[in-house]
Structure 1
């Protein structure tokens, strides 16, 4: 039995998982998240804002306290879209090293996709494959196709933070803003489809906060319930209706939803629009919402 700690730092959130793993046996010890918006302004400026770095390093310090209280054999820290794009990424990387004494891995989109695929599918019946795993993050969205292993993958820059900053400036957004976002999103999905057979999967699995929040909305939950969301099946029709619902609401109305994390209030409209356009492009009738994702894939990577 090996106990590992893995940290995934994206554009919107930073997340920690501590797990005990033995072979294919996986036991979650701790899973926690903080919304830090590391990617604040990165799409426009190609650099981290000092405030964003400070917020994220404070979260890293809190994660260190948790890790120190739990004896772990290995630690892995991966950073994704925002860190890939930021020219001053070393300010962040050096700060993490000073706190945790680990090297931040700035992983390419295709590796991010592969790790998400492993995490999203290890609990699933292989008879429901081949799978298309879609990971809508803050800065990018990963498309990965495979069965027992990854066959093809592509990362495109249509994350919920990036689309919010680039297009959906108002809440509710204007029709012109929605239209320009759809054009951007559809172009990126078309680019992904060149590398990934997005129309060939038997099951579409969607991971990360956008997908699970859309699932919570579709299920009309009275609070965010990870157990009820995990492996729930959400129809394409409900996804489109949820996306339209968010487009019609102001920030106060979105914030008042009982399942809504405060750090997603200003980006869920863009994120749900991305998921809606993915559903339309793939033609699938439903997606499976998975609470297992890149963190789980990272954890397994440490014992293989």
Structure 2
């Protein structure tokens, strides 16, 4: 079974420390531009215990940057994956769920028709969320990985159609406050539409450098607005990345014979090692990328576009070390659902609300 399409059965605990105290089953679907991913979990002593999962590359947003609409082929691919998600949820007796769609559906002119087809044919209610909600959920899902040593953090998620970057203020050690998103940026480039912008087919080294420079240029106003580099220079900033790009590079760097989440989630990699891993991927042929156990055929053509986005981020803010997160939106959804269920114990099927403070402003 490939990394891109998996049905996880390993029991693993994620999230915070509190449990609900009663037996319910929760599900979260994150439908992005490139991936359709599901987590099913039950409350546990330290947050929740994953009882099933699923991930498939569907490329829902393929061509949206050019046509402005979801294609029929992409919608059918995605609906097949969503059917599997719905079947798994039914088998596990899910009682609370939330299914969110992000950039591809935000941008597509025909997304409402797609949402209706999913509701009618599969029975899932897709919620198209904004970039602010996406940033809050990712922060909530990644909270356990932040270090207590630094007061500021850059959290980013390289998606298929956009890259979300949050500038976060972390609470003082022992303080009761929650992290606060000071500012966030939704960069309109992810691995799918950046690749479509530069080339037809797979991305290679010839396009890579120009891509990285464009991303760095696009980040300049966000830097100027927040003066992040000044805090980077004094060692106050940590960097955390949640995306297939960073998890792939962590696997490549460790020379893993297969993708192993327990060796990836929370892994720290310095920028020099990150650069070496990117160079290794850039020097591979398409067949070599497809054969690599941490890349695979589904990611082989687009992985270097993600590396270019990552390189642009690292050049803009040379923190020196990156922490890798194989978690994010889905975990944030689950923690929100459980918090909502705790507040409404005994009342059926309440949808979650944001679990992290709302951002104060948005960079353009």
What does residue 4 of structure 2 align with? none
| Match 1:38 to one of 48, 60, 68 | 60
Distance 1:174 1:25, change over 3 A: closer
Map of 1:1-304 to 2, 5 A cutoff?
1=20, 2-21=24-43, 25-146=47-168, 147=170, 148-149=178-179, 150-169=181-200, 171=202, 173=204, 175=206, 177-194=207-224, 198-199=228-229, 200=231, 202-304=237-339
* Cα distance change on mapping 1:123 and 1:44 into 2, 3 Å: same
Instruction: Give the structure-1-normalised TM-score.
Output: 0.92
**Cα contact 1:185–1:274 (8 A) shared by 2:** yes
CA separation in 1, counterparts of 2:139 and 2:61?
A: 23
Is contact 1:19–1:29 with CA below 8 Å preserved after alignment?
yes
Once the two structures are superposed, residues 214-271 of structure 1 have per-residue CA deviations (whole angstroms, 9 ceiling, x without a partner) of 1111112111111111111111112222223322322101111122232211110100
Cα 1:38–1:227 shift into 2, 3 Å: same
Q: Secondary structure at the match of 1:265?
A: coil
**Corresponding residue number in structure 1 for 2:345:** none
In the alignment, structure 1 segments of 5+ residues that lack a partner are none
The 1:113–1:79 alpha-carbon spacing in structure 2 relative to 1, beyond 3 Å, is same
How far is 1:291 from its partner? 1.1
TM-score, normalised relative to structure 2: 0.78
| Worse overlay, 99-108 or 34-43 | 99-108
- Please identify the structure whose Cα radius of gyration is greater: 2
How far apart in 2 are the matches of 1:193 and 1:111? 22
Conserved? CA contact 2:34–2:61, under 8 Å: yes
Q: 1:51 to 1:191 in 2, by over 3 A?
A: farther
Shift of residue 21, structure 1, vs aligned partner? 2.9
Moved more, 3-12 or 258-267: 258-267
Q: 1:174 Cα shift?
A: 5.6
Structure 2: where are the runs of 5+ without partners? 1-19, 171-177, 340-364
For residues 43-75 of structure 1, give each alpha carbon's deviation from its aligned partner in whole angstroms, at most 9, with x where no partner exists.
Answer: 111111100000000100011110001122211
Structure 2 CA distance, aligned partners of 1:160 and 1:245?
18
CA distance in 2, matches of 1:279, 1:300: 30
Q: Distance in 1 between matches of 2:226 and 2:156?
A: 11
Distance in 1 between the 2:57 and 2:45 partners?
32
After superposing the two structures, state which structure 1 stretch, 121-130 or 151-160, moved more: 121-130
Alignment: residue pair count: 303
* 3-state SS, counterpart of residue 303 of structure 1: helix
The answer to which structure has the higher helix fraction is 1
